Structure formats: structure tokens, C-alpha cells
Amino acid sequence: MNELVEPCLVDTGQGFSVLYRNRHLYSRHDPARTPRMAAERLVLKPETLIVCFSPLLGYGLQELLDRLPPDCMILALEADPRLFSLSREHIPSSVQNDPRFSLLHSTSLDGLVAWYESEQHIPVRRCVSLDCSGGMDFNRELYRSALAALDASISAWWKNRMTLMILGRSYHRNILRNLSLLSGSIPLRKGTVHKPIIVAGAGPSLDASLSFLSEIRSKIVLLAVDTALAPLMDAGIKPDAVVILESQFWIEQALYGFSNSGIPLFADLVVRPHALKITGGPVSFFSTRFATSPLLNRLETAGLLPLQVPKLGSVGLAALYIARFIAGNDLPVFFTGLDFSYGSGYAHSRGAPWPELSRRSVSRLNPPGPQLFPTGHYIRSGKQNRTLITNPVLSSYAQLCRDQFAGDSNCFDIGQDGLDTGCRRLSHREAEALIMQVNTGSAGPATHDSRPTGTDSAPLGCGVAVQQFLQGEYTRIKQLRDILAGDREMDEASLSNLIDECSYLYTHFADAHRVDTTAQSFLNRVRVEAEVFLKTIRVQSGVVIDQS
């Protein structure tokens, strides 16, 4: 019998079942009983996303809505287009019109996650699944992968929320402080490097690669992450540029020993401003969409937002992304020191700042050596089946590396230790052979500009645009401050819009994702933050601001 026929309803005497692909997708005796019992037995907690696989006729959904705890959502997911059409037609309108319910057809995990992120009006803390019918069996693996993808998205949202609580204020203030430096920076240009690139992370495997890097230094462009600069320079290897994305004070320790060295910096726009001045080299900015920020949106509209790098979390992965961006067509990019783990001892190369700091602080009460198995760490098998120690953060970076770069045929892992990155692994000798092949290929000798980012400077009007932008932000925040102080009046709708436009003033509030923006306690806190940001623009932005 042809399995591609349309699904049809079958009257069982106690309700309708569905016949599709030679299968009854509900019981032939009492179709609604099993899904309703499953809905009633499902353990529900507040702030939960309930994913209902293959909802068909919607049995059990109303029962689920009736006992739904606060701040919960129901996503009815159907991968089969014919069954989706059936569900859209037969699920009761009272269920489909409920704002807590969504019916979706998707076979793409990326599309599913994108939809969820766009529709996440209520942040949830967990997701659970409910098998609504036998239709799930047609796409069981897809549904299981969908649940894992949604769970990962929820986890990432809360990790980002925690990051913004700690760093959101410094991110936005550093952006305002660094904008005036754009006019003197060197934009990162796609495909402007014509030599193979090696990215040096600061993991333990960097130590085993130092002699190799020294041998082939003249044949490559070398990008180092911030904490890899010290071990490289100690080995007599000066990188072409250092990638830095940290907004906090402590990262300056990685650069202090190289004051006025002239080493170029590839820096995120949120980097601590003083760190940009230590080496005395040229600066090339990039940006990361760390939040849905109106400040970033306005920068992009004004044409002031530099190269956007995906949210990768790790400076090593950001460096790898930039290396792939600036590399010429089909040029290989290698990396080492991106271990995302450690076997014993430290998670960094021996010459990196943190192991050095630990050794300098040794005393009778603080013996040498790191904590061998810190709380929250666990054992994983890495390259060459070696037993390694990692933690959820490091292993998530390894997974991001696999997701982002494993499919890139020009990206090679030459680190001899660490977690699997998904990229093709090469020995040092194999990497050298490939580098020599590129340098002596039929296309002629590979070259690169003296500045790996290209020779074009920022547009001449950039300085004027930055001044106008900062003046606009100052005026906007001052208007909000004056209204909250009672010096000006504004209707409630306009005030709500103005608060949304200035939402970066409170991104770091612990309750920012669920706060009542009309509550007086919230408005009092925003007024305090407005004073802080007004002073940042007025005193630290590097441009003259009209305060009238």
C-alpha cells in the first residue's frame, strides 16, 4: 500500500483515531485515553517549556493547559507536513488561541531554536517532552534532537543572563569608552592575509608546539590569544597580532610585560580601554552580539559596528573565527593550545600568567601546584584516548568548536592534546609540509601585508559619526534622567519606549528579564544608572559632549 497517502480520521466509536502510513496513530479502542492520562501524569514545574511531539488531534492539550503552572509555555511540534496540516485543522481553537500555546512545523534544529528565541516572551528554566501520539515514531531521532537543542538553548540563555548580571554594565560602558578609538583603528578585512595562519591558544598543548612555531615562524602569520603572549615571547616568538576580548581588569596582567612592544591587537569593542594601550600597537576592533541591546542596534544602523563575531565565549574560538575571516581563499588555518581541558597541573601553558602567578605566590601555607581535581570538574577521554580533566564550561567550548569549525576543510588542529575539536588533526610535520606546499604552490609565493588586517584605515567621517552618536546617547539618557528626577514630564507610553531604548542601563539587573518597568523601585534604580552612564560619556568617551 502507498505510504504517502493523506492521513485520515477513523471513527472508533469512542472518538477519532488517525490512520497514516498503514498505522493507527492512536488506540483503535479509546483514542483520547492514553494522551490525556500522559498529560495528567506529567510532572509540571513553574517556568517550564513543555514540548508536545506530534500532537495530531490535540488530545490531552486542554488538560495540560488547565493545570499549567505560572510562566510556562507549550510547544506542539510536528515534523511531518501532512500531520501538521491535520493538527492545524483539528486541534480545538480554544487551545490554538491560548497565548501559552504554539503549534509549529519544523525539520530544522537551527530553525526551531531561532523560532524559540524569537518567541521566548517568558524565560523558562527547563524543558520537558510529552509524546502525544504514534506519529512521533516517524521522526523519533529528530524529536529527541529537538528536545536537546531546546534544552541547550535554554541553558545558554541563562548562562548569558548570568554573564550579563556580572559584566553587562562594564560591557556597555567599555563600548562607550572605546567608540572614539574607531577612527584610529584598522578595520579587519576579509581575505587580506596571504600566508597560512596559526592561532596559538594558551592551553597546555602550546608548550609542545613552541619549537615547531619557532621553526616555521617566517612562513606563517601567527595570531595569539591574550594569555598565550607571555609563553610565546619567552620562547622568542613574536606574534603578528594578539586577540583580546576580556572587559575586566585582570586581563591586563597578560600584557604588562610587553609595554610598547608595538604588537597589534584584535580587540572586542567591550575590551577594557587601558588594555588597548599597553602594547602601543595598532588596534583592530570586532564586536560580539552579547545581548539584544538597543545600543548595538543603533551602532549598526549608524555604520559604526565593526566585524561581528558569533557568540563563542572563548577567546581562542574568537581568534580562530577571525583567522578564517582574514585568510585568503583556500589558505589553511591551524591552531594549537585550544585544549579545553588539562591532564594534570594547570589548564594553561606553563608560561601563561595564571600558572606564573601561582608559582610566585607559593608559601608554607600555600604549597606549589594547582588543585588537581577542583569541584565541578570531571574526567573525559581526549585526543589519543588520553584521560583529561574538564568542566562544563570548557567542554561547552569544545562543542562550540565542533559546531562552528568541524565542517571547514581548511581548518586544522595541530595541538597534540586536549578534547576533540572536530577539526582534522595533523602532526607538526604534516602541518609543515602543507605550509611549504602553500608557500611554493603554483599560485606563487604567499605574502601578507605588514599589518595582517589590511592597509585601509577607518573612514574619514568616522570620528564625526562617533561624536554625533555619543552626543545622541548622552541626550537620550539625560532626557530619561530628567524625567525620572521630576524635572520633565512625558506620557506613560513615551516613557516606556524611552526606557526600552535605554535598556542597556539595566541589562545587568538581576531581575532585568522579568522586571515591571513601571514600578517605582525599578525607576529609582534606573535613575542611578543613568547618572553613571552620563558621567561615562561625558568624562571617559574621549569626545566633547554638549551638556545643555
User: DSSP letter string over 443-500?
Assistant: T----B-SSTT-S----TTHHHHHHHHHHHHHHHHHHHHHHHTTSS---HHHHHHHHH
DSSP state of 240: S
Question: Could you report the per-residue pLDDT of 472-501, keeping only the tens digit for each?
Answer: 999 999 999 999 998 888 888 999 999 999
Does residue 425 share a domain with residue 325? yes
Q: What's the whole-number mean pLDDT along residues 269-289?
A: 93
Does residue 151 share a domain with residue 17? yes
CA distance 407 to 533: 43
Least confident of 211-220, 233-242, 432-441: 432-441
Q: What's the whole-number mean pLDDT along residues 289-302?
A: 91
Tell whether the torsion through CA atoms of 252, 253, 256 and 257 is positive or negative.
negative
Please report, for residues 37, 176, 477, the alpha-carbon distance to residue 536 in angstroms, rounded to integers and kept in the order given: 59, 7, 11
Task: Tell me which of 153 and 354 has the higher pLDDT.
Answer: 153
Does residue 28 share a domain with residue 144? yes
| 362, part of any domain | no
Range of the domain at 145: 8-157
Using the predicted structure, report yes or no on whether residue 442 has a pLDDT greater than 70: no
Cα–Cα–Cα angle for 183, 186, 190, nearest 5°? 130
Tally of structural domains, the chain = 3
Does residue 466 share a domain with residue 432? no
| 493, part of any domain | yes
Using the predicted structure, report yes or no on whether residue 452 has a pLDDT greater than 50: no
Does residue 508 share a domain with residue 382? no
Does residue 314 share a domain with residue 275? yes
Cross-strand bridge partners of residue 18: 9
Q: What's the whole-number mean pLDDT along residues 84-92?
A: 92
Q: For helices 428-439 and 205-215, give the axis angle rounded to 10 degrees.
A: 30
CA distance 235 to 258: 14
Q: What's the whole-number mean pLDDT along residues 132-148?
A: 91
Non-local CB neighbours of 119 within 8 Å, separated by 6+ positions: 102
Q: What pLDDT does 359 receive? A: 67
Question: What residue type is assigned to position 424 of the chain?
Answer: R
Question: Could you report the per-residue pLDDT of 153-192, keeping only the tens digit for each?
Answer: 888 888 888 999 999 999 999 999 999 999 889 999 999 9
CA distance 105 to 316: 37
Cell triple for 15:
472518538
CA distance 202 to 204: 7
Least confident of 8-12, 224-228, 266-270, 442-446: 442-446
CB 498 within 8 A of CB 490: yes
Using the predicted structure, report yes or no on whether residue 541 has a pLDDT greater than 50: yes
| 164, part of any domain | no
Q: What pLDDT does 378 receive? A: 79
CB 297 within 8 A of CB 200: no
Does residue 206 share a domain with residue 147? no
| 406, part of any domain | yes
Q: If pLDDT is split at 50, 70 and 90, which confidence band does 374 have?
A: low
Using the predicted structure, report yes or no on whether residue 5 has a pLDDT greater than 70: yes
Q: What is the CATH number of the domain that holds 30?
A: 3.40.50
Using the predicted structure, report yes or no on whether residue 77 has a pLDDT greater than 90: yes
Q: If pLDDT is split at 50, 70 and 90, which confidence band does 373 have?
A: low
Among 108, 137, 157, the domain-final residue is 157
Largest CA distance in the chain: 85
Least confident of 113-117, 127-131, 268-272: 113-117
Does residue 531 share a domain with residue 497? yes
Report, in this order, helix, strand and coil percent for the chain, each rounded to 5: 45, 15, 40
Kindly report the average pLDDT of the chain as a whole number. 87
Strands 197-200 and 333-336 turn out to be parallel
Does residue 498 share a domain with residue 527? yes
First vs last C-alpha separation in the chain: 80
| 165, part of any domain | no
| 548, part of any domain | no
Using the predicted structure, report yes or no on whether residue 536 has a pLDDT greater than 80: yes
Non-local CB neighbours of 543 within 8 Å, separated by 6+ positions: 180, 466, 467, 470, 471
> The cell 497517502 sits on which residue?
5
| 179, part of any domain | no
Using the predicted structure, report yes or no on whether residue 88 has a pLDDT greater than 70: yes
> The cell 594549537 sits on which residue?
336
Query: What is the CA 400 to chain-centroid distance, rounded?
Result: 9
Q: Other CB atoms closer than 10 Å to residue 457's CB: what's the count? A: 13
**Secondary structure (3-state) at 360:** helix
Does residue 16 share a domain with residue 99? yes
| 479, part of any domain | yes
Q: What pLDDT does 108 receive? A: 86
HSE at residue 291, side-chain half, CA atoms within 13 A, is: 25
Among 393, 411, 439, the domain-final residue is 439
Q: If pLDDT is split at 50, 70 and 90, which confidence band does 455 have?
A: very low
> The cell 583567522 sits on which residue?
323
Does residue 434 share a domain with residue 463? no
CA distance 137 to 21: 11
Does residue 392 share a domain with residue 268? yes
Task: Tell me which of 448 and 64 has the higher pLDDT.
Answer: 64
Tell whether the torsion through CA atoms of 305, 306, 310 and 314 is positive or negative.
negative
Report, in angstroms and rounded to the nearest whole number, the Rg of the chain calculated over CA atoms.
28
> The cell 557568540 sits on which residue?
311
